[in-house]
């Protein structure tokens, strides 16, 4: 009987620790260089592990990448999920925008990882985009639509409003090099958050009579 490569059956402490180390290193490398640009050697070096050892935990480079995406996808949705239909619209949207700005500030690497994946046609997360993401957005757009119908915010297309929020907030993570270059300094995240809130929300206020 030929020897077939054995994979561990159980999940040991060492596995948990090393997989975590690998994913951490992989986020650095993939977010900086993209899938094709990243090399297994780089990830192995950054996780202080030999390449064969790394490949013992994740058989293929692609497996690391997919695991990494899945590992953070649901986190990404969380702030939108928390948009509360019962709350005050402008407060809720402000909270959502602030949360997204803070995610960009706290974890720009994850943001760049997604940006890169989507930029290249989202081959790995197509199902996520067309499934969970699409459905959650549809649900929240209904909420926004109901706010509009109730005259609580100005009538704007909810889908495009959400796209605008995503675009602007993630811009500060994904294009930080450009932002810093144009400002001539490191961007001040507090000032950015304040400005973004004004720009995106001011137009939603219904005029007072």
Partner DNA sequence: GATACCCTTGACCATTTGATCAAGAATTAT
Partner DNA sequence: ATAATTCTTGATCAAATGGTCAAGGGTATC
Residues that bind DNA (CB under 7 A): 3, 5-6, 8-10, 12-15, 18, 38-41, 49-53, 55-56, 59-62
> Please, which residues have CB within 8 angstroms of residue 167's CB and are 6 or more apart in sequence?
none
53 binds, among its own copies, DNA, none (CB under 5 to 8 A by kind): DNA
Are the C-beta atoms of 28 and 44 separated by less than 8 Å?
no
Cα–Cα distances in angstroms (integers) from residue 32 to residues 56, 61, 102, in the given order: 24, 16, 20
Residue of the chain from 14, 16, 106, 181 that contacts its own copies (CB under 8 A): 181
In angstroms, give the least distance from the CB of 152 to its own copies: 15
Does 14 bind its own copies (CB under 8 A)? Our answer is no
In angstroms, give the least distance from the CB of 62 to DNA: 6
* H helix and E strand count, the chain: 11, 0
Is 158 exposed, middle or buried, given 0-12, 13-18 or 19+ CB atoms closer than 10 A?
A: buried
Residues 16-35 close enough to bind its own copies by CB under 8 A: 32-35
Q: Based on CB atoms, which residue is closest to its own copies, 69 or 200?
A: 200
Cα–Cα distances in angstroms (integers) from residue 138 to residues 43, 70, 122, 131, 162, in the given order: 38, 21, 20, 11, 10
In angstroms, give the least distance from the CB of 70 to DNA: 17
Q: Which residues would be at the binding site for its own copies (CB under 8 A)? A: 32-37, 112, 115-116, 118-122, 126, 129-130, 133-134, 137, 154, 156-157, 159-161, 163-164, 166-168, 170-172, 174-175, 177-179, 181-184, 191-192, 195-196, 198-205, 207
């Amino acid at each position: 009987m030929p020897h077939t490569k054995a994979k561990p059956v159980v999940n040991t402490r060492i596995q948990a620790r090393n997989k975590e180390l690998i994913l951490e290193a992989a986020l650095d490398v993939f977010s900086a260089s993209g899938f094709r640009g990243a090399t297994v050697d780089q990830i192995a070096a950054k996780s202080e592990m030999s390449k064969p050892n790394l490949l013992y935990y994740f058989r293929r480079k692609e497996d690391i990448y997919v695991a990494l995406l899945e590992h953070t996808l649901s986190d990404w949705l969380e702030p939108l999920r928390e948009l509360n239909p019962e709350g005050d619209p402008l407060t809720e949207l402000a909270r959502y925008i602030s949360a997204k700005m803070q995610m960009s500030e706290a974890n720009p690497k994850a943001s760049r990882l997604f940006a890169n994946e989507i930029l290249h046609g989202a081959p790995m997360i197509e199902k996520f985009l067309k499934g969970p993401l699409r459905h959650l957005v549809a649900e929240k757009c209904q909420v926004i639509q109901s706010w509009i119908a109730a005259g609580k915010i100005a009538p704007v297309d909810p889908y495009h409003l959400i796209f605008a929020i995503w675009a602007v907030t993630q811009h500060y993570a994904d294009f930080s090099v450009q932002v810093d270059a144009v400002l001539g300094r490191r961007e001040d995240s507090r000032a950015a958050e304040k400005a973004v809130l004004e720009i995106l929300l001011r137009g939603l206020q219904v005029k007072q009579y």
